[in-house]
Structure 1
């Protein structure tokens, strides 16, 4: 049977955790007094924050759910959420092989911004709305390239806000509408896995605002509201959430569900009625909420100051997890691996990530205090990356690598440079060289492969800049150097 509200109780006896609250009542409450709107209908949000929201509802800490809004891919709404009553199955793949399955109903509706703008505007106009969260991936915050606005942003700011097409201009438009209709503060919280996420959102937002002001489309009063009544906390989020796995889909269909296959939309979004993810999860958030917030502290979310969030983010992104993942992604593609856990069985790759995290990362890590960095890196290396039940691939992690390299490795290179010890680094520069080698699109067997989706690499023609290099070449004395 298809995933629907009517079928929920049929799976309670099959080991599924099911909602223990009145779903329709929660949806009515949310419609009347929305508190939490989320932008971006991706797997990470469904596997983590949406589950936290469900727990808060079940434990009596919230009586409203989350409204989801997708701005990029309409098929995600029409071909998935609309057909599944906005439900999702969350499958947790524990390192010991135990599988936990839960039907999640905290997402009360899913809207496509392009066709439901008025509904989203009404949500923004309600003073009960406390926070808008974002998981739009790192490229969603890009408004500039080569010191000028990207084409869609340039077109938007050349005319008034009512003609906006891109997400950031539309968020500005919605905030201004909120100012005129209820004049209540709002918090825009990025929980994307990119550092510093809140600052990236604020910078993109204010850059576009500035241009609208210069072009005469935003008044002084509206600007004052945007500058003083909209906050942009930074956050650190961590939970490995691979693309939906065919093996998990088959397991769910054996349980009695139908149509569990992963759909690839025309815009190359991979979505299914379920998410599969690891058990470990972390969320640390800067506590600057101007109109209240969901009580996520009951779900072990840490609310703290920006300095502590930055340290937690640097620990994860620059030292303990993401650099190791990037190394496995790059070399996994070159060595034709299809599994992250499988790579960790290779003694050379395992040694590489241990060197990146322990030998070169931990000596310069700043312990955030709210998370023990030694325990965190131990969990990464001894539980998370080797979890063979997580169907994660180097090809997935290699997406958008050109935007990640500087963030994930540059910080520690800079620290070693300041200490006068940059010559001691081995694994980090080896991985950077490996990425340049990856850009050739040729594996170690000499076979061509397509690099993972990477808009920046495509826009800046990074592959063309290394095209003169051929596998096996040794003489580059007279070859040009390019700034990548």
Structure 2
């Protein structure tokens, strides 16, 4: 038996199920990029809001590339379970907030119709850094093959193409503006989405760009929840809990955080009644997340993989890596920005170390290590640049950066990164003695984000050499 609307009534009593009639609720949110994280985060908050009495906020999920999530959830009436693993027994809940999953590449018209529907008031995004197609300077990369081909062919394939068509229909039919809410790990994510989308619209329809700027909002947000990739063992464990199969099951940790700039165009669920924080300025929270949690995660990934480790919990328990990551968070990341009133960064670091050490959540280092070239500017390089301006170096971050530099050499493993070929070519061109300068020296590949001065560059090069010598 498989989880579905017809089988929910047969679930064991210890499994929580929606108290509301989920099938009777209209879609109010379109989500672009419906992976495991969204299903364990924004969809859970929205499910809780409707369980608390709000109505018509179901989610139309859109997969821009893979049909995997659609194929998991379509036979289950879009129902799935979230299992929370902490110190005690796992807690499982069936989520009813997702109404359907569309695959954009084969249901483009349906995606555009969902965006254009007057009942839709919010569009949320978890498309990762790659999905925004930013150039190195943070603006939209019009030379990116996906953007260039979309503009030439007129066939939507990126978030910008689908939004352009959905917003055109809303304008033409007076359906009103949308809240366009990025939930990706990017500093000032709402502002960056706004600049990129308006630049795209200026190319295709300048009047639509003006209409969008006048009628839509782009709040910034910060999200935080560790959601490892679901394994076959997880699916088997969840099936035992449910007494039936759930191909879309996700497993996560007890902690969840969602900080949102309170700037909505046409209403929203009362997510704040269920743990979200609605604030005037997200920046201190997103900076803490990017530089402390995400920065530590990336350090654990590259340093841990170099030691032959596989999991976050293993890396943070390592006698050298654990203390290094502690110093990275407290001494380097936490001192690189001004905290918001009441934001206790020392306590935040304590929470992070506790969460990293959760053995019930096998968060794989290889998953975190993906797309490093897109992540390290926000996670490490901004911190390095801040301290360099103050005349300080960051030995812990530089050691992690050296591990990444050696990792992207791709000796004996595959590098899953949009710049993998470019980084490999740079390694061949610069060689071991020049790779640090080629990346982070004056005119280097990443110099726009961080141009290392002599002291940091020498330390980084020595750390690279030391790693190469011990391989």
User: How would you bin the TM-score normalised by the shorter chain?
Assistant: 0.7 to 0.9
* Contact 2:40–2:252 under 8 Å retained in 1: yes
Name the SS of the counterpart of 1:236 in structure 2.
strand
Match of 2:403 in 1: 434
Name the SS of the counterpart of 1:109 in structure 2.
strand
> C-alpha distance in 1, partners of 2:55/2:378?
36
> C-alpha distance in 1, partners of 2:429/2:384?
28
- Cα distance, 1:72 vs structure 2: 1.6
Number of matched pairs: 438
* Contact 1:87–1:103 under 8 Å retained in 2: yes
1:333 to 273, 291, 305: 305
> C-alpha distance in 1, partners of 2:98/2:36?
13
Deviations 1:314-335 (A, max 9, x none): 11111x2111111011112211
- Cα distance, 1:115 vs structure 2: 3.3
1:296 aligns with 2:271: yes
Deviations 1:33-66 (A, max 9, x none): x321111110111011111111111111334422
1:119 aligns with 2:105: no
> C-alpha distance in 1, partners of 2:239/2:435?
59
Match of 1:104 in 2: 95
Match of 1:187 in 2: 179
> C-alpha distance in 2, partners of 1:379/1:138?
26
Deviations 1:164-200 (A, max 9, x none): 3333122111111110012412111011122222123
* Contact 1:198–1:233 under 8 Å retained in 2: yes
- Cα distance, 1:479 vs structure 2: 11
Name the SS of the counterpart of 2:335 in structure 1.
helix
Match of 1:254 in 2: 240
2:287 to 314, 318, 321: 314
> C-alpha distance in 2, partners of 1:340/1:86?
31
Match of 2:468 in 1: none
1:463 aligns with 2:434: no
* Contact 2:32–2:159 under 8 Å retained in 1: no
> C-alpha distance in 2, partners of 1:12/1:42?
26
> C-alpha distance in 2, partners of 1:87/1:371?
36
> C-alpha distance in 2, partners of 1:76/1:247?
18
Match of 1:21 in 2: 20
1:152 aligns with 2:123: no
Q: TM-score under structure 2 normalisation?
A: 0.87
Deviations 1:252-301 (A, max 9, x none): 233465555xxxxxxxxxxx411111111111111111111221111121
1:202 aligns with 2:182: no
Matches within 5 A, 1:359-378: 359-369=331-341, 371-378=343-350
> C-alpha distance in 2, partners of 1:121/1:469?
47
2:372 to 386, 394, 401: 401
Name the SS of the counterpart of 1:6 in structure 2.
coil
* Contact 1:191–1:197 under 8 Å retained in 2: yes
- Cα distance, 1:233 vs structure 2: 1.0
Match of 2:67 in 1: 74
1:384 aligns with 2:378: no
**Cα pair distance change 1:441/1:123, threshold 3 Å:** closer
1:46 aligns with 2:39: yes
- Cα distance, 1:21 vs structure 2: 2.0
**Cα pair distance change 1:416/1:384, threshold 3 Å:** same
> C-alpha distance in 2, partners of 1:324/1:479?
21
Could you say what the CA RMSD is over the residues aligned between the two structures, in angstroms? 2.3
* Contact 2:83–2:238 under 8 Å retained in 1: no
**Cα pair distance change 1:118/1:370, threshold 3 Å:** farther
> C-alpha distance in 2, partners of 1:384/1:60?
32
Match of 1:450 in 2: 414
1:168 aligns with 2:160: yes
Name the SS of the counterpart of 1:321 in structure 2.
helix
**Cα pair distance change 1:200/1:257, threshold 3 Å:** farther
> C-alpha distance in 1, partners of 2:174/2:148?
30
> C-alpha distance in 2, partners of 1:411/1:93?
33
**Cα pair distance change 1:400/1:480, threshold 3 Å:** closer
- Cα distance, 1:354 vs structure 2: 0.7
1:355 aligns with 2:346: no
* Contact 2:60–2:114 under 8 Å retained in 1: no
**Cα pair distance change 1:12/1:54, threshold 3 Å:** farther
